[in-house]
């Protein structure tokens, strides 16, 4: 039986370059298997990369704020604008906290290629939820 790849493996995550003080930078390797016609990376991967960087930023920020370290950002809204095609190779996703309340966080992010050209930008609104509660609900959903 073939092992099911993790989310990070599926997305091609190479490494988290930084993840502190409400900012996150994550490197991904876009593969040809992620592309549709003309060698262009499918938009779902691009959205996922930026979304992951914004989530890391939210968790890093929550860890130093009153929200506490054990939170999971749950998306309420995600908007992605695509500026240029992403191609196979190294891409860098950045995310940062624009503003955080007690339970809601407003995030922004972008995706660049290795040369620094901006490929896409995004904004997101997330609800910061207790991590144990989210994981417990997921376990309950899977076991039924």
Q: What is the pLDDT of residue 94?
A: 97
So what's the pLDDT on residue 68?
53
CB 119 within 8 A of CB 87: no
**Model pLDDT, residue 108:** 98
> What is residue 126's predicted lDDT score, i.e. its pLDDT?
97
Regions of the chain where pLDDT drops below 50:
none
Residue 95 pLDDT: 97
pLDDT tens string 74-109: 999 999 999 999 999 999 999 999 999 888 999 999
DSSP H helices, 4-89, are 7-11, 43-63
Predicted confidence at residue 58, as pLDDT, reads 92
Strand order in the sheet with 118-130: 13-20, 23-30, 89-100, 104-113, 118-130, 71-82
């Amino acid at each position: 039986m073939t092992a099911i790849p993790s989310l990070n493996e599926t997305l091609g995550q190479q490494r988290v370059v930084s993840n502190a003080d409400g900012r996150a930078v994550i490197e991904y390797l876009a593969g040809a298997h992620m592309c549709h016609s003309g060698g262009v990376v499918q938009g779902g991967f691009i959205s996922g990369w930026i979304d992951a960087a914004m989530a890391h930023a939210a968790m890093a920020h929550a860890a130093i704020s009153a929200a506490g370290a054990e939170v999971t950002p749950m998306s309420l809204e995600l908007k992605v604008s695509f500026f240029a095609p992403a191609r196979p190779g190294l891409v860098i996703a950045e995310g940062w906290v624009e503003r955080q309340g007690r339970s809601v966080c407003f995030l922004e992010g972008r995706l660049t290629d290795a040369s620094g050209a901006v490929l896409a930008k995004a904004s997101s609104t997330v609800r910061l939820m207790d991590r144990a509660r989210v994981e417990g609900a997921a376990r309950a959903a899977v076991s039924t």
